[in-house]
Amino acid sequence: MFKFLWPEIGRNGSSIYNTSLTSICNCSHLLASLYQPYLHTVTTFPLPDASIHRTGTQEALMILTKQLSQPPFPLKTECVEILQRIAALTPTREFYPQHLTVMQTTHWHESLSQSAQHNAFRTACQKIFNFSQMFADFHDHDTRVIHAR
């Protein structure tokens, strides 16, 4: 049995949830394929999923580092926004004294478990964004930056 996900994406992509295989498949649209790691992260559980043998956070990082997540064109605003959401799942750190990185205070998102927040999210999202910007001269899109919170 299949269910269509994300009606706003369904217009442009073919994202389908296969309930018998418990997976998202046929994500031909970049926005849909970026929503996938976001959903894996915010719905993660500390124990690995029985079907994929990884936690949602591990699966999200695997998807973000795949070659398919490296678009050879500038990202549209919607894609940049979802990358910013994923990057924001990185906990923020304040070091003290400020000129040293010896002691730190880590700020976690209260609404998510610590296992859903990973240091690699911001780096992975920035790499996707930077790769896409290498092709900006060949396209007519606004360029955006993923800012730290």
| For the ranges 30-34, 98-102, 115-119, 130-134, the one whose mean pLDDT is highest | 115-119
pLDDT at 144 (0 to 100): 53
23 pLDDT exceeds 90? no
Cα angle for residues 125, 128, 134 (degrees, 5° grid): 140
pLDDT of 86 higher than 50 = yes
For residue range 68-79, what is the model confidence (pLDDT) as tens digits? 667 878 888 888
pLDDT digits (tens, 9 = 90+) for 113-143: 888 999 999 999 999 998 888 877 776 655 4
Bridge partner list, 93: 106
- Helix, strand, coil percentages (3-state) for the chain, rounded to 5, are 40, 15, 45
Answer yes or no: are the C-beta atoms of 62 and 27 closer than 8 Å: no
**Domain boundaries along the sequence of the chain:** 2-138
pLDDT attached to residue 61? 93
CA-based nearest residue to 38, from 56, 55, 24, 19: 56
Residue 26 banded pLDDT, cuts 50, 70, 90: very low
Of the pLDDT bands very low, low, confident and very high (cuts 50, 70, 90), residue 52 is: confident
Could you give the residue ranges of the DSSP H alpha helices within the chain? 7-10, 30-42, 56-64, 77-87, 120-133
Q: What angle do CA 128, 43, 77 make, to 5 degrees?
A: 35
pLDDT, mean of residues 56-79: 85
Percent of the chain with pLDDT over 70: 72
Does the structure show a pLDDT above 50 at 27? no
